[in-house]
Amino acid sequence: MLAMLEVLQIGRMSCRYTTTRSTLLQDDVAATQEASDIRGARIRQHAIADDLAEEVRGACLGMRVARLHRIVARVYEQALQTVGLSLPQMEILTELISATGPVRPAALAARLMLERSTVSRNLALMQKRGWVTVVETSPTGRAMSVTIADTGVAAFTSASTAWRSAQTSAATMLGPAAASMLDQWLDLYGHSTGFSAIRPHSAHEPS
């Protein structure tokens, strides 16, 4: 009787061992399959990314325009920095000189297609240099409208030689018809993209 009980006990233990081993094997198979699925998904994602990168690299207009902008802007920046000006500052001074009265920074940003923060940052620097005069401020001290000062006019005119040198270089790079072609594109696409496209050489109405 005792021997029979021992046999039954051993049988139950063997059954539990077999069940446990089977469960572990199933878990190993599931883990292996999951790892394989993850590797497969990663491979597919990388393949999609490689295809997209090739498409973007081969055809993206935005990247090409941005790179061309950096090339051309560098020509002007290198020339203007010799007289202490940047290209955005030259743009802002051009607008202020052409305006018939005080101009709001938001209007400047819209006209120049610049971020408001870029305009505000440059206006603050230009105010410190005495190039612009703030004629209206907000309760927090932010400039609400500005006008060009005599020192700003002097800074602008002092850049004539540097700007003309850069202009000649850019025209050589882009061709003599570049300005008119760019004006056409600005007129055509500026408003449709939410910008108030105003040509740099146009006359402006009071703000």
- The string of pLDDT tens digits covering residues 152-178 is 999 999 999 999 999 999 999 999 899
Flag whether the pTM goes above 0.75. no
Q: What is the mean pLDDT of residues 59-79?
A: 94
Buried-state track 17-45, b at ≥16 Cβ within 10 A, e below 16: eeeeeeeeeeeeeeeeeeeeeeeeeeeee
pLDDT at 205 (0 to 100): 37
The domains found in the chain, sorted by start residue, are 61-183 (1.10.10.10)
Q: What is the mean pLDDT of residues 21-29?
A: 65
Alpha carbons 116 and 114: distance in angstroms, whole number? 6
Where is pLDDT greater, at 97 or 9? 97
CB neighbour list of residue 161: distance below 8 Å, 6 or more residues apart: none
- Res 82 pLDDT > 60: yes
Where is pLDDT greater, at 95 or 144? 95
CB 164 within 8 A of CB 172: no
